[in-house]
Amino acid sequence: MDNQPAPLRVACIQMRSGLDRKKNVADACQLIAEAAAAGASFIVTPEMTNVVDRKGARLLETLPEESQLEEIGAFADAAKKHGAWLLIGSMAVKSGARAANRSYLFAPDGSVVATYDKIHMFDVDLPGGERWKESKIYAPGDNAVVAATKIGHVGLTICYDVRFPALYQELSRSGAEIICVPAAFTAQTGRAHWKTLLTARAIENGAFIIAPAQGGQHEDGRETWGHSLIIGPWGDVLAEASDDEPGVIIADIALREAHEARQRIPNLALDQKFEITIIKP
């Protein structure tokens, strides 16, 4: 007799958020409803679900404090309406002189059970003159988060965090079976690194990776990569968006596979502390 728990159906929402927060919320809720209708009980939206705006002054002028952010109530209602766990991959939330890039995890009753502020800021100079200084607009977080929910232990990360493997190792050592990577990857870096980085984080940690993305040409002038992914703990791609168009991808996952992968390759348990010697001949 098979006593294994039923698979968990998870969904990535791929979006193309613009400057109009109300429209972005409406677009997200429509896709959330589509995912719920397909049977998803854990639904994840991308980074900056509520607004994509690279102009910091304009963003901060129009962004209210968290207590006045209507999006939170709208997404709480969506989680409750569909009876699903809902991770809003991130929203811009005013936080003092800057904003926070903050994830919100809603339970099926609409309550917020966890939040996470993106730790690693995307401050880079890319080939071709593309330059980003995220820390000018957003204040970095300093606390990693694992939510121990009824559907599993969920580690929360956002976009550029994916390039910092130590964060993922600590989340996994703290019990995370699923790690979410909502993102707004640039087209340039996404084309080169998106799938490789996500697959590496899955394999290194024996974890399911759920990575919903922004995709396409946005109102603020940026272009994001899309190609949302759900990856298994052995590095197998379970679902993948073929382009940057808004939509939904879905996969069924069995959390026991994360534990099995960690038993086969116990690198998290066998990691050794060491010192480094620099030798100058």
Of the listed 12, 29, 47, 177, which one is catalytic? 47
Of the listed 71, 159, 177, 257, which one is catalytic? 159
* Beta-strand pair 178-180/208-211: parallel
Active site residue 219: no
- The phi, psi pair for 221, rounded to 5°, reads 105, -10
From residue 156, give the alpha-carbon distance in Å to each of 162, 197, 255.
Answer: 11, 16, 17
Active site residue 240: no
Of the listed 12, 29, 118, 134, which one is catalytic? 118
Q: What is the DSSP string of the chain?
A: ---PPPPEEEEEEEB---S-HHHHHHHHHHHHHHHHHTT-SEEE--TTSS-----HHHHHHHPPBGGG-HHHHHHHHHHHHHT-EEEEEEEEEEETTEEEEEEEEE-TTS-EEEEEE--S--EEE-GGG-EEEGGGTBPPP---EEEEETTEEEEE--GGGGG-HHHHHHHHHTT-SEEE--B--BHHHHHHHHHHHHHHHHHHHT-EEEE-BBEEE-TTS-EEE---EEE-TTS-EEEE-SSSSSEEEEEEE-THHHHHHHHHS-HHHH-----------
Active site residue 159: yes
Contact (Cβ atoms closer than 8 angstroms) between residue 191 and residue 162: no
**Active-site amino acid positions:** 47, 118, 159
